[in-house]
């Protein structure tokens, strides 16, 4: 990395830290910054985890994607319990496409799952989501280790495709 690249990276990182502090004050959420990473083009990003805890136990939360332009995405999840605990990915949304951001979000939810001793992650892919970009969405989940099968969403019981990953 050249001197100029290091300088620009550090400058962007400082902007990110300022944005994060402003966000924490504004939202008054219990945010934990655990992951600093980069996009494919080298721009720094933060993945900010805001867990929802009940009696010390994780029951859901958000992972926000913070770039120098502000918050550019989010993954929301719920921890469900029946015979075992598992994570249900409620939604993934991000504005930056083809930069590895979605993969970073999924890798981070894997980390959170392992830390919480959760062995299964499920994402339901609705017919609406699959309508215009089905191949791209299926490829995204499969390249991140998810198995795709037809079925009902375990939360809403709507028919669609389910992406499942066992840890």
**Residue 62: both structure tokens together:** 């958000």
Q: What total number of domains does the chain contain?
A: 2
Q: Cα dist. 61→45, 50, 51, 114, 129 in Å?
A: 19, 6, 4, 15, 22
Q: Are residues 20 and 37 in the same domain?
A: yes
Q: Are residues 24 and 92 in the same domain?
A: yes
Q: Are residues 90 and 153 in the same domain?
A: no
Picking from 99, 118, 137, the residue at the C-terminal end of a domain is 118
Cα first-last separation, the chain: 35
Q: Record the pTM.
A: 0.77
Q: Are residues 80 and 131 in the same domain?
A: no
User: For 115-131, what is each residue's pLDDT tens digit?
Assistant: 888 999 998 887 766 67
Q: Are residues 101 and 128 in the same domain?
A: no
- Hey, which of 53-62, 80-89, 117-126 has the most confident mean pLDDT? 117-126
Q: Are residues 93 and 153 in the same domain?
A: no
Q: Are residues 81 and 124 in the same domain?
A: no
Q: Are residues 7 and 89 in the same domain?
A: yes
Q: Where are the beta strands (DSSP E) in the chain?
A: 32-38, 44-54, 57-67, 70-81, 85-94, 120-125, 147-152, 159-166
For residue 152, what are the β-bridge partners? 159
Q: What is the pLDDT of residue 142?
A: 95
| Domain span including residue 91 | 3-118
Domain holding 65: CATH number? Answer: 3.40.630
* 1 has a pLDDT exceeding 80: no
Q: Are residues 125 and 53 in the same domain?
A: no
Q: Are residues 72 and 127 in the same domain?
A: no
Q: Are residues 78 and 160 in the same domain?
A: no
> Mean pLDDT over residues 69-98, rounded?
80
Q: Are residues 40 and 62 in the same domain?
A: yes
């Amino acid at each position: 990395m050249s001197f100029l690249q290091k300088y620009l990276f550090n400058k962007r990182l400082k902007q990110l830290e300022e944005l994060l502090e402003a966000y924490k004050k504004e939202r008054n959420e219990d945010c934990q910054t655990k992951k600093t990473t980069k996009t494919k083009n080298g721009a720094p990003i933060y993945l900010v985890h805001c867990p929802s805890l009940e009696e010390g136990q994780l029951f859901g939360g958000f992972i926000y994607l913070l770039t120098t332009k502000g918050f550019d995405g989010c993954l929301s999840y719920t921890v469900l319990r029946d015979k075992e605990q598992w994570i249900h990915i409620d939604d993934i949304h991000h504005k930056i496409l083809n930069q590895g951001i979605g993969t970073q979000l999924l890798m981070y939810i894997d980390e959170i799952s392992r830390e919480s001793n959760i062995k299964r992650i499920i994402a339901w892919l609705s017919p609406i989501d699959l309508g215009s970009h089905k191949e791209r969405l299926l490829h995204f989940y499969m390249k991140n280790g998810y198995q795709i099968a037809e079925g009902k969403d375990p939360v809403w019981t709507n028919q669609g495709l389910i992406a499942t990953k066992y840890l």
